[in-house]
Amino acid sequence: MGVPNFPLVTERLQLRPFLPADLDALHAMQRREDVTRYLYWGPRSRTETRRLLDRVIPLMAIDDSSDAVRLAAVLTQTGEVIGDFSLQRVSAEHRQGEIGFVLDPRHQRRGYATEAGREMLRLGFEAIGFHRIVGRCDARNTPSAQLMERLGMRREAHFRQNEFVKGEWCDELVFALLSSEWGLRPPPAGR
Ligand SMILES: CC(C)(COP(=O)(O)OP(=O)(O)OC[C@H]1O[C@@H](n2cnc3c(N)ncnc32)[C@H](O)[C@@H]1OP(=O)(O)O)[C@@H](O)C(=O)NCCC(=O)NCCS
């Protein structure tokens, strides 16, 4: 795969690489305790968010020089950046990818993460050619687990206290989807 044609367009969203002008929108998500509760970091200061933005802006292809795509989800109707979606190559040999997602709480629970997540899976399977895509979350992160279930991903593992995060041992869930399943199982309509 080379560089996908951006933006990726869904019913209500456009997904495109991050831009320097996205600092405020990215910080609005990364500074929040509720958003970062089950992530490995955060809440982030503005300086930390700027460093993050500098790191993610170049991530727009999965090829010889880059292992990840990191995309801002823009609400088509308003032009607002409301989410942060990633697709990472975790193994070239085994054609394995991993998805990640963050949605601004002001725009949660309207199906935007489902819509963008489905597009990230499409990118991974149809453009990049992954054989398997996983998603991982803290076992207490119910919205994340439910999102992966809505995306048709199969819950494959519940690891007990396999990671020490933010001062405590945490359980982790692993969800996965195979390219053959993506082809066979049309994405569910709506929710
Ligand atoms: C994980 C996260 C992205 C999920 O966001 P979300 O808003 O719950 O997911 P969606 O945008 O797909 O919305 C789904 C909800 O909208 C409802 N909905 C409304 N219209 C819908 C539609 N057209 N399609 C799908 N769902 C729809 C669903 O019923 C669901 O509601 P429910 O939570 O009451 O069951 C969000 O919780 C988040 O950013 N969390 C913080 C960061 C984080 O932990 N990321 C994951 C790290 S592993």
pLDDT tens by residue, 122-180: 999 999 999 999 999 999 999 999 999 999 999 999 999 999 999 999 999 999 999 99
Ligand 1 pocket, 106 CB below 6 A?
no
User: 0.85 cut: is pTM over it?
Assistant: yes
Ligand 1 pocket, 108 CB below 6 A?
yes
Q: Which CATH superfamily is domain 8-184 in?
A: Gcn5-related N-acetyltransferase (GNAT) (3.40.630.30)
What is the chain's mean pLDDT, rounded? 95
Ligand 1 pocket, 101 CB below 6 A?
yes
How do beta strands 81-91 and 8-9 pair? unpaired
pLDDT at 118 over 80: yes
pLDDT category of residue 42 using cuts at 50, 70 and 90: confident
Strand partners, 62: 67
Residue with token string 């990215």: 26
For residue 135, the ligand 1 atom closest to its alpha carbon is: 48
Nearest of 50, 46, 143, 59 to residue 102 by alpha carbon: 143
81 Cα to the center of ligand 1, angstroms: 16
Domain boundaries, the chain: 8-184
